[in-house]
């Protein structure tokens, strides 16, 4: 898990990952690393970032973005259909915790304790 840093008023895309918590396969049951975040100054709705490389590798240059609501939907980047389906199932299983974290109702520890493995 990354330690969260304060959000600047004009975040640079590469710096966005410092505002996110990474969740590895052993915690999610997914075959790849997922990033989740709180809203901060974001102008978009809740979403997760998905590393397209299987395993616990973290490559911010090779990821896809999946929106959480109203239904989990691929927003940006390529993601094979099997991986997308797993991520969608994981988001549906954990929607309350992800949205609670996004909305600031849960802190990082509470969100992590609320997550369920796929």
Residue 60 lies in a domain: yes
Residue 8 lies in a domain: no
What are the tens digits of pLDDT across the range 16-65?
544 678 999 999 999 999 999 988 888 899 999 999 988 887 777 889 99
Q: How far apart are CA 49 and CA 41, in angstroms?
A: 17
Question: What is the widest separation between alpha-carbon atoms in the chain?
Answer: 36
Kindly report the backbone phi and psi dihedral angles of residue 71, in degrees, each rounded to the nearest multiple of 5, phi listed first: -135, 150
| Confidence at residue 5, expressed as pLDDT on a 0 to 100 scale | 35
Residue 2 lies in a domain: no
Residue 26 lies in a domain: yes
Number of structural domains found in the chain: 1
Tell whether the model's pLDDT for residue 8 goes beyond 50.
no
Tell whether the model's pLDDT for residue 3 goes beyond 80.
no
Residue 86 lies in a domain: yes
| Confidence at residue 19, expressed as pLDDT on a 0 to 100 scale | 65
Tell whether the model's pLDDT for residue 12 goes beyond 80.
no
Residue 118 lies in a domain: no
Q: How confident is the model at residue 114 (pLDDT cuts 50, 70, 90)?
A: very high
Residue 18 lies in a domain: yes
Domain that holds residue 95: 13-113
Report the predicted TM-score, pTM, of the whole model to 2 decimal places.
0.82
| Confidence at residue 21, expressed as pLDDT on a 0 to 100 scale | 83
3-state secondary structure the chain: CCCCCCCCCCCCHHHHHHHEEEECHHHHCCCEEEEEECCCCCCCCCEEEEEEEECCCCCCCCEEEEECCCCCEEEECCCCHHHHHHHHHHHHHHHHHHHHHHCCCCCHHHHHHHCCCC
Residue 6 lies in a domain: no
């Amino acid at each position: 898990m990354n330690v969260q840093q304060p959000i600047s008023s004009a975040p640079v895309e590469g710096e966005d990952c410092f505002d996110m918590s990474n969740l590895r396969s052993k915690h999610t049951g997914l075959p790849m690393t997922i990033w989740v975040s709180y809203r901060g100054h974001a102008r978009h709705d809740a979403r997760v970032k998905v590393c397209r490389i299987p395993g616990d590798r973290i490559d911010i240059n090779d990821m896809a973005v999946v929106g959480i609501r109203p239904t989990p939907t691929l927003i940006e980047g390529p993601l094979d259909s099997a991986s997308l389906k797993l991520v969608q199932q994981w988001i549906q299983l954990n929607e309350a915790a992800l949205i609670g974290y996004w909305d600031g109702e849960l802190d990082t520890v509470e969100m992590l304790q609320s997550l369920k493995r796929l």
